[in-house]
Structure 1
Amino acid sequence: MSARFLPHLLAAAVLAVAVAGCQRGPQAEHDPARTVANAGESGALVKRAPRAEDITPPTERAEREIDWRPMELTDGRAWIGCDPDYATKGDGTPLENLGFTAVWHGVAACRDEGRLRLRYKGKINAEFTALMERVSEVATTQGVDTRILDIDSAGGMIEDGIRAGDHMAEADWTIWVREGAVCHSACVLVLAGGDMRMIAGDVGIHRMIRIDSEATSRAELNRELREVHSLTESYLERNGAAVTVADLMMTVPNRSLRLLTGDELTLFGLTGPNAVEDDLDRIRLGRKCGESFVQRRDRFFRAFDNECTALAEQVEDMNECGRALRQRFGFPDEACPAESPLAEYN
């Protein structure tokens, strides 16, 4: 996760037990090979062969301007709230459309907090990608740096899952699948793009489906899907997730759903801190603050996980534990106070 995002994420975690507890993942007693028949509305749809712009890594693309033409959410609903504690505060204010004025006012309500939670329930499609791009741009303009996507989606279009995930990888998003929510099929690709993933609901994968396929044999259908499989592998690799996910999207029958256990989510790089972003964060911090700072910061967070997260239900105790650890490890650092853990307490 990014250096500036991590302190805000920890602050969000101590505000509500719901957020702090979401990092556990599905219960371990799930059968590792568990599948669910009748996948229902789940979808991993492919509408075309990949284009060059899809294969090109995001950092090599020309900067894409946000298209602010009026747009409605026809296959989903969105809300913007400023507090992760949805049980007490609710889902937030409905985002009626994706026009500039609606998005601006929705995000502006969270400017003082410096933190927003975007609740989305619906399909992964071009509208979802536009939602993430527009909210990200406005949040950056208004200085709302802590961003949580609270998602509940049974899937949708593979290409849009990749496009949205690549955008989120550059925009400092945490992704939260709350208890009772799902993230199935194409939604799993969105998880790969988050800086941090907190999962309490079900995450599941099944075989992708080619829309309007003209295949008349297994070989022809395989050629169509191999193009998208290669695109998906490349996306997962650059975002620190296992290419095994792409393989499962070729093998699990689309009428079923393979639910991933907590251990599998960790193994596949789909939960907790994003490994690639963590490496980039360490490189940036090493250049700015020195390697000894990075090593001391790592020791702080290991101690925080071991000693403080167990106090999640006692918010004041968790705060006090974190502040005591800061003193023990010599934070705030004199040379890099803003990069120090829990910098909001400086």
Structure 2
Amino acid sequence: MLPRFCWLSLLCLGLVACNRQEPVAKPVADAAAALAADGDHMVSINAADAPAPVAPVLPSKGREWPEVALENGKAWVSCDTDYAGEAGDGIALEALDRASVDAALAPCQERGLVRVRYAGKINPSFTALVSRLAVVADAMKISRRILDLDSSGGQVEAAIVAGDNIGASGWTIWVREGSICHSACVFVLAAGDNRLISGKVGIHRMMRISSTASSRAELNKELHEVYDNVKDYLQRNGVAVGVADLMMTVPNRSLRLLTNDELKQFGLDGTNAVQDDLERIKQMRKCGDDFVRRKDAFLVAFDRECKVEGVDLETVNSCGQTLKERFGFPDDVCPDESPLSEIGTALLVPEPVAIPSAESATSAPAAAQLAVPPQRN
């Protein structure tokens, strides 16, 4: 039996616990503050707090853009696909005003290729980043655009707004070795014209940070509308809605990494199926049915005969150039839309990189093999 003073102590503790009032959870008033503190969670906020869709045309050159700071993230701009070379990830983008973005992209204008490395959260300032980069890239006619992404996630609504901007402006999304794309980042990944994945992609449930729910039924009702929007977004980007269903089964504090087979099965790896259909429709109108048939046959043969595992990039390109003659390319009517056009082929070949040791060679094995898809027609 416990001594009397122990019983008294326990009784006092019990009375304190019984009389203590539990704090009532309140909706988060400041969505930006919540994003800063959400760690690696995927969060959803009230519609009133969601970032507004960015207007299709931002203020023209010579007029000021609204001031936006890049929060919980960093961005670098490079005109090369290779990050193992001397230039690395490129020049840090310190601000999002028009003059700063113009200066960052200007060196890429001649080559017509830009790679933007982003490491950080998916939030409203990220949506501003991608939309402003697209406006300047359009103005400079930089048609080949790569978003080199490393993100643990962030806000669902911001990811969807950013994704719609990306989908409208022609970006390849790259998750390279050592990088991750978790949680809400997966929605950004979905929007790319092409997705190149060597890093880790993971999913889990979203957390409703502005929720007032006190039961499973109430929480489910709140999330139902959000998931409907997510599924609609995934469908318009050619991604299986099963991704959203699978997310529902993984606790927010956990993570479910997707395998290579699952990424392909869900439509998150490789060519965006919806964009591919759109390009085929455009090419059929411009170049004719015979052109599209020959191009489809070429791409099948190219994958089967040229893209053999272990073959170096120069051999792949040489094989492709030889294969073009068999299928009647370049086409007289649509030379720019022909597969492996002279411009596209030049951009497939990276600048040579001196690898000093075997250790450094394994640190970035895919950097020199990033194939940049041809520009949109």
**TM bracket (short chain):** 0.7 to 0.9
Instruction: Confirm or deny that 1:77 pairs with 2:74.
Output: yes
1:205 and 2:171 are equivalent in the alignment = no
Residues 120, 312 of structure 1: CA spacing in aligned structure 2 closer, same or farther, 3 A cutoff?
farther
The one-character-per-residue Cα deviations of 1:21-74 (angstroms, maximum 9, x if unpaired) are xxxxxxxxxxxxxxxxxxx942210011489998xxx9xx97453682232212
Q: What stretches of structure 2 of length at least 5 have no aligned partner?
A: 1-37, 346-377
Corresponding position of 2:272: 274
RMSD between superposed Cα atoms in Å? 2.2
2: CA distance between counterparts of 1:251 and 1:311? 36
* 2:41 aligned partner, one-letter code: G
- Structure 1: runs of 5 or more not aligned: 1-39
Q: 1:219 aligns with which of 190, 199, 217?
A: 217
Q: TM-score, normalised by structure 1?
A: 0.83
Distance 2:93 2:102 in 1: 10
Larger radius of gyration: 2
Q: Classify the secondary structure of the residue corresponding to 2:308.
A: helix
Describe how 1:39-54 pairs up with structure 2 within 5 A: 41-49=39-47
SS in 2 for 1:198: strand
Residue 65 (str. 1) matches residue 58 (str. 2): yes
- How many pairs were matched up? 302
Q: CA deviation at 1:237?
A: 0.9
1:141-160 equivalences in 2 (<5 Å): 141-160=139-158
Aligned to 2:325: 327
- Contact 2:105/2:136, CA 8 A, preserved across alignment: yes
Structure with larger RCO (C-alpha < 8 A, sep 6+): 1
SS in 1 for 2:181: strand
Runs (4+) off by over 6 Å: 50-54
Check conservation: 1:70, 1:97, Cα contact below 8 A.
Answer: no
Secondary structure, aligned partner of 1:97: coil
Distance in 1 between the 2:277 and 2:48 partners?
29
- Counterpart residue identity of residue 295, structure 2: R
Distance 1:52 1:282 in 2: 35
In 2, distance between residues paired with 1:279 and 1:51? 35
Secondary structure at the residue paired with 2:336?
Answer: helix
Give the SS at the match of 1:278.
Answer: helix
1:114 matched residue in structure 2: 112
Return the alpha-carbon distance in structure 1 between the equivalents of residues 170 and 130 of structure 2. Answer: 11
Q: Confirm or deny: 8 A CA contact 2:171 2:194 kept in the other structure.
A: yes
1:134 Cα deviation from its structure 2 partner:
0.4
Alpha-carbon shift at residue 299 of structure 1 (Å):
1.2
Equivalent residues of 2:41, 2:253 under 8 A apart: no
Please show how residues 1-346 of structure 1 align to structure 2 within 5 Å: 41-49=39-47, 63=56, 65=58, 68-88=65-85, 89-310=87-308, 314-344=312-342
Q: For 1:289 and 1:194, locate their aligned partners in 2 and report how far apart those are by CA, in whole Å.
A: 25
TM-score (norm 2): 0.76
Q: Distance in 1 between matches of 2:318 and 2:78?
A: 27
